[in-house]
Amino acid sequence: MASTGLVALTGLVASGLSFGQSFDAGRYVDHIKVLAAPEMKGRATGSPELERAGHYIAEQFKALKLKSAPGLTGYLQPFQVTTSAKIGKENRLELTSGTTGTTFEALKDFQPLNFSASGKASGGLMFAGYGITAPEYSYDDYAGVEAKGKFVVVLSHEPQEFDKKSVFLGEAYTDHSQMYAKAANAKAHGARGVIVVKDRPNHKADENKLDSFGKTNGPADAGILSLQMMPEALSDLFTAAGKKLEDLEAGIDSDLKPRSFVFAGVEVREQVDVERAVKTVNNVVGWLPGETNEYLIIGAHYDHLGLGEQHSMAPSLAGTVHPGADDNASGTAAVLELAKYFAGKKLKRGILFLTFAGEELGLLGSSYYANHPQMPLANAVTMINLDMVGRVREGKLYVGGAGTGSTLRASLDSVIPGRPLKVDYSDNSGYGSSDHTSFTAKQVPVLFFFSGLHGDYHKPSDTWDKIDGPNSVEVLKLVSTIAEKLDAADERPKFVRVEPKVEPRSGAAGTSSSSGGGYGPNFGSIPDFAEPPKGVRFADVKDGSPAAVAGLKAGDIMVTFGDKDIANLYDFTFALRSHKAGDEVLVEVLRGEQKLAVKVKLTERK
């Protein structure tokens, strides 16, 4: 059953089944079987399989006689994304000390990290412990040393890992342990490059080999030359400096004091070659007109992780198909079932059915659509997002964003009683790690339907046979009822700005963070995760926040923060962490063709 073909299920929709009929659990699961079939190879953004999935969705829209959205000739809205990186042929690393030089072998002694900048550079060399600056833990490997213009050697992971008494989390990693965090921190301190070495001797054993190139998270281009090396390749260097790497590591772990130092007389010459693939992918858009120019949006992302790579929650199984049945073939199938339910109905307000590519890479498809809408977003009454709705357990369904519209909570409360679902309104803000966030930032009220995380999340075991069809139908019944209520209501919900929840341990890539990952003082911006070529674009600026008081607006692109150039969100995270509440920081932004400089007085994060 998992190998149901695309043609066969397309025929199911076109075979004369009546529009507007009640939901069918079997048909719903059949859609998931197609999208999560092994031959779909996990629908990675930029893959031929995602393109096949997009055409499959478009065929369903066509069979339902949905219209093309204004400005499109079909159902596909194309946009470009950087989908992958690979190691180029011109990677070199040489260390010289006096008249002695050592040339290292690429892919054996070292290799680039996939978020590395490409280019050539030279400079001195220093050791900077774990490469961490963490004021919240009173820890800084860069204290008392000057990294500007140098290459920094840093240990992987973080101090005192798996120690319950650690000032860090101890039994779990913080964001500081991530390789991209070490690179961003090195860049923030003026380094020309960062070299991450394994910290095997005293910590959890790593494999005695370089990580696979695609394993690490980070921006498309961190703006700094970034390598990983085996510690054995640098053992002679530490010996010549009268040091042992394992002793330095043990010393830092014992008292959390820096052991950073400059390698006297050592010069680094480095060339990094990382090739990035830019591909055209598609959002899939179907339009069902109503009597007015107002409309609802019902959406879901249809991409997943492909073969897992760095995003897999089962790293040992990276390289195998991650089917993404619940995440998010379940939401995509829900959009198709809702489109079938509403097709042919007479509506007061229209419904725009949207499925997004690029969600797993950072809400790229929804962000693109929100910035390039086919219809005015001012006429969008509510955006309903369905992400992982296929595995309701114990009747519990999470509904986010109910606080973002003046009438949303009351409308939901009026239709929930008597249903077998227990609704959890734990997050009213409309911000989070799914596509509704892109619309919240544009001041469109949102509702986010989600059946919860489970042990198969982002693993090869997220397969179609674990989908609970009957309970998913209950979700569809609720969503269709609230959509009908919103469609017919005399009063449309007015957008209400709700303070997003702050996750104190989330990193720069966390979509719920409003000012750089939950660390440091409050700034008040909501980042647009479809990053511009350089800088951080604000999707929104919170009312009354330091950024708003300074006159910053949604759409501004931050390019400097204090004395730091800002190339991406990771740079902003570390620049912000270096300040405290009460600091006044000069911020430069691009607003259209203008470059503006404003002073922002940071406040305490609440």
Q: Which residue has the higher pLDDT, 15 or 367?
A: 367
Indicate the DSSP class of residue 320: B
Find where tokens 């640098």 sit.
234
- 551 pLDDT tier (thresholds 50, 70, 90): very high
Coil vs helix vs strand at 536: strand
- 201 pLDDT tier (thresholds 50, 70, 90): very low
H or E segment and range at residue 351: strand 350-356
Write the DSSP assignment of 475-505 as a string of letters: HHHHHHHHHHHHHH-SSPPPB---PPPP-TT
Residue 411 has pLDDT above 90, yes or no: yes
Residue 273, CB half-sphere, CA atoms under 13 Å: how many? 9
**249-302 pLDDT, tens digit each:** 999 999 999 999 999 999 999 999 999 888 999 999 999 999 999 999 999 999
According to the model, what pLDDT value does residue 15 have? 32
Rounded mean pLDDT, 34-53 = 97
Contacts of 258 (CB under 8 A, 6+ apart): 129, 140, 141, 142, 143, 144, 145, 252
Q: Are 373 and 68 in contact (CB under 8 A)?
A: no
Alpha-helical (H) ranges within 196-292 are 235-240, 245-255
According to the model, what pLDDT value does residue 21 have? 52
- 6-15, 39-48, 364-373: which range is least confident on average? 6-15
Q: In 10 A of CB 1, how many CB atoms?
A: 9
Contacts of 11 (CB under 8 A, 6+ apart): none
Domain 89-272 in this protein, CATH class: alpha beta
Contacts of 440 (CB under 8 A, 6+ apart): 401, 404, 429, 430, 431, 446, 540
Winning range, highest mean pLDDT, from 56-65, 207-216, 506-515, 537-546: 56-65
H and E: helices and strands count for the chain: 13, 24
Give the whole-angstrom CA distance, residue 544 versus residue 95: 52
Q: Are 435 and 365 in contact (CB under 8 A)?
A: yes
Both tokens of residue 1? Answer: 């059953």
Q: Are 154 and 197 in contact (CB under 8 A)?
A: yes
Averaged confidence pLDDT in the chain: 88
Both tokens of residue 49? Answer: 């399989």
Q: Are 471 and 392 in contact (CB under 8 A)?
A: yes
According to the model, what pLDDT value does residue 135 have? 86
Alpha-helical (H) ranges within 226-384 are 235-240, 245-255, 330-342, 364-371
Give the whole-angstrom CA distance, residue 522 versus residue 515: 6
Q: Are 255 and 222 in contact (CB under 8 A)?
A: no
Contacts of 244 (CB under 8 A, 6+ apart): 238
Q: Are 13 and 46 in contact (CB under 8 A)?
A: no
Find where tokens 């990693």 sit.
173
Indicate the DSSP class of residue 48: H
Find where tokens 């964001």 sit.
175
Give the whole-angstrom CA distance, residue 447 versus residue 429: 10
Find where tokens 């920094």 sit.
152
According to the model, what pLDDT value does residue 503 have? 45
- 33-47, 68-82, 196-210: which range is least confident on average? 196-210
Q: Are 126 and 267 in contact (CB under 8 A)?
A: no
Q: What phi, psi does 54 have (nearest 5°)?
A: -60, -40
Give the whole-angstrom CA distance, residue 446 versus residue 469: 25
Both tokens of residue 528? Answer: 């647009």
Instruction: Fold for 525-601, please state it.
Output: Pdz3 Domain (2.30.42)
How are beta strands 422-424 and 396-400 bridged, if at all?
parallel
Residue 426 has pLDDT above 80, yes or no: yes
Give the whole-angstrom CA distance, residue 561 versus residue 535: 10
**115-144 pLDDT, tens digit each:** 899 999 999 999 999 999 988 889 999 999
**Domain 6-84+277-488 annotated CATH 3.40.630.10:** yes
Q: In 10 A of CB 450, how many CB atoms?
A: 22
According to the model, what pLDDT value does residue 499 have? 75
Rounded mean pLDDT, 353-374 = 94
How are beta strands 557-561 and 564-565 bridged, if at all?
antiparallel
Report the greatest alpha carbon distance in the chain. 83
Find where tokens 């080999």 sit.
209
How are beta strands 261-272 and 119-127 bridged, if at all?
antiparallel
Q: How far apart are the first and last CA of the chain?
A: 51
H or E segment and range at residue 473: helix 469-488
Rounded mean pLDDT, 329-338 = 98
Residue 507 has pLDDT above 50, yes or no: no
Burial class (CB in 10 A: 0-12, 13-18, 19+), 370: buried
Q: Are 112 and 275 in contact (CB under 8 A)?
A: no
Q: Are 518 and 501 in contact (CB under 8 A)?
A: no
| In 493-542, beta strands by DSSP E | 525-527, 536-541
**What are the sequence ranges of the domains in the chain?**
6-84+277-488, 89-272, 525-601
Contacts of 490 (CB under 8 A, 6+ apart): none
Contacts of 301 (CB under 8 A, 6+ apart): 328, 331, 332, 355, 356, 357, 358, 359, 360, 365, 366, 387, 434, 435
